[in-house]
């Protein structure tokens, strides 16, 4: 018989309490024994990717060194403002490496691999925080039918999904429901996720048009159908909250670069896999959406606990 979840949580909390209590002594002992600081041990002992980056991040955030605390605070502030991306990347890389080398008294001529390994981790740590800030800007920008760019994107989405053979009869029309919007005017469906919801759908339709249209055909199934655009916006919300909570950190730490396009790629993966899962579940009606989405998200979150997790689009498609 398994112990109650509350008991497991209590044991975990007690373990963490004693670990953080003993951590300074443990670090001192290992430093004396190996002649390497904690960051060096992580960079030399962990394979590149999420595991190394996560441990570097925890080490920096738990550091008691005033200059490292200041460096973390400055970079956290910097990624949350409108600044040039090239300048930001150089500042993250340069400031993080210079601060750690000085504070930890690491000679880069002796430890020639450390600056590169640590610098890559720093870029991922603050690249992720920067990515969330950029995504948040899109989410907080509401769809505006008076904005020509917003309207252009919406009409482009229609053309990509409906095809050139079907023209819109008007800006407000029930034709929008054929690609999965709830009513005659799609702008009302973007309220929760703002322009981010539209950008996600548009990226999917542009970059994987054949796949997107195939999933759209799945959504028209008489029994197992769903509202394509509405489900897409719900998956935008899921992707956004996974990013915001840090649950998606492992996936992104395993990517070569962190850009808004990488978030769109993450979204495309979720949409493709959700459609596969939906078809496998064979729902009786759209009313089954809540529990299917909940189970799907739980499965994704489990996969995201694996340090080797890196979602890739699998573009094989099958007929319903």
Report the C-alpha gap between 144 and 141 in whole angstroms. Answer: 9
Q: Are the CB atoms for 231 and 289 separated by under 8 Å?
A: yes
Count other Cβ atoms within 10 Å, centred on residue 215: 25
Q: Are the CB atoms for 38 and 59 separated by under 8 Å?
A: yes
| 183 φ, ψ (degrees, to nearest 5) | -130, -155
Q: Are the CB atoms for 286 and 229 separated by under 8 Å?
A: no
Report the C-alpha gap between 268 and 257 in whole angstroms. Answer: 17
Count other Cβ atoms within 10 Å, centred on residue 150: 18
Rounded to 5, what percent of the chain is helix, strand, coil?
A: 70, 0, 30
User: Residue for token digits 């309220």?
Assistant: 191
DSSP state letters, 200-226: HHHHHHHHTHHHHHHHHHHHT-TTT--
Give 319's Cβ-side CA count (13 Å radius). 0
Q: In the prediction, which pLDDT does 313 show?
A: 76
Distance of CA 81 to the CA centre of its chain: 19
User: Residue for token digits 């489990």?
Assistant: 302
Q: In the prediction, which pLDDT does 166 show?
A: 86
Report the C-alpha gap between 41 and 299 in whole angstroms. Answer: 33
Q: Are the CB atoms for 304 and 242 separated by under 8 Å?
A: yes
pLDDT tens series, the chain, 320 aa: 445 555 555 554 554 544 455 556 555 444 555 668 899 999 999 999 999 999 999 999 999 999 999 999 999 999 999 999 999 999 999 999 999 999 999 999 999 999 999 999 999 999 999 999 999 999 999 999 999 999 999 999 999 999 888 888 888 999 999 999 998 999 999 999 999 999 999 999 999 999 999 999 999 998 888 999 999 999 999 999 999 999 999 999 999 999 999 999 999 999 999 999 999 998 888 889 999 999 999 999 999 999 999 998 766 544 33
Q: Is 102 left (phi over 0), alpha (psi -120 to 50) or beta?
A: alpha
Tokens encoding 55: 């441990």
Q: CB neighbours of 145 closer than 8 A, spacing ≥ 6? A: 151, 171, 185, 187
Cα dihedral sign for 5, 62, 96, 42?
negative
Report the C-alpha gap between 30 and 24 in whole angstroms. Answer: 10
SS3 state at 182:
coil
Q: In the prediction, which pLDDT does 29 show?
A: 46
Tokens encoding 234: 């719900």
């Amino acid at each position: 018989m398994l112990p109650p979840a509350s008991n497991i949580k209590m044991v975990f909390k007690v373990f963490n309490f004693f670990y953080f209590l003993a951590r300074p002594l443990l670090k001192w002992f290992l430093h004396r024994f190996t002649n390497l600081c904690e960051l060096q041990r992580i960079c030399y002992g962990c394979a590149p990717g999420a595991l190394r980056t996560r441990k570097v991040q925890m080490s920096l955030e738990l550091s008691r060194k005033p200059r490292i605390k200041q460096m973390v605070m400055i970079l956290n502030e910097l990624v949350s403002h409108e600044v040039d991306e090239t300048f930001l990347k150089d500042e993250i890389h340069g400031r993080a490496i210079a601060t750690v080398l000085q504070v930890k008294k690491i000679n880069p001529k002796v430890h020639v691999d450390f600056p590169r390994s640590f610098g890559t981790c720093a870029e991922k740590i603050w690249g992720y925080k920067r990515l969330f800030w950029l995504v948040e800007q899109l989410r907080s920008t509401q769809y505006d039918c008076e904005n020509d760019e917003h309207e252009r994107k919406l009409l482009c989405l229609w053309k990509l999904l409906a095809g050139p053979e079907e023209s819109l009869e008007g800006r407000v029309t029930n034709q929008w429901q054929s690609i999965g919007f709830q009513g005659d005017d799609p702008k009302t469906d973007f309220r929760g996720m703002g322009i981010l919801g539209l950008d996600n759908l548009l990226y999917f339709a542009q970059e994987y048009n054949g796949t997107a249209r195939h999933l759209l055909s799945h959504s028209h199934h008489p029994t197992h159908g769903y509202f394509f655009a509405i489900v897409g916006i719900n998956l935008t919300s899921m992707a956004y909250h996974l990013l915001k909570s840090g649950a998606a950190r492992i996936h992104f730490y395993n990517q070569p670069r962190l850009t808004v396009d990488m978030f769109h790629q993450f979204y495309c993966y979720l949409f493709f896999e959700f459609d596969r899962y939906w078809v496998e579940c064979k729902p009786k009606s759209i009313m089954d959406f809540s529990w299917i989405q909940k189970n799907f998200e739980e499965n994704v979150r489990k996969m995201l606990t694996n340090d080797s997790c890196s979602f890739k689009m699998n573009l094989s498609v099958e007929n319903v």
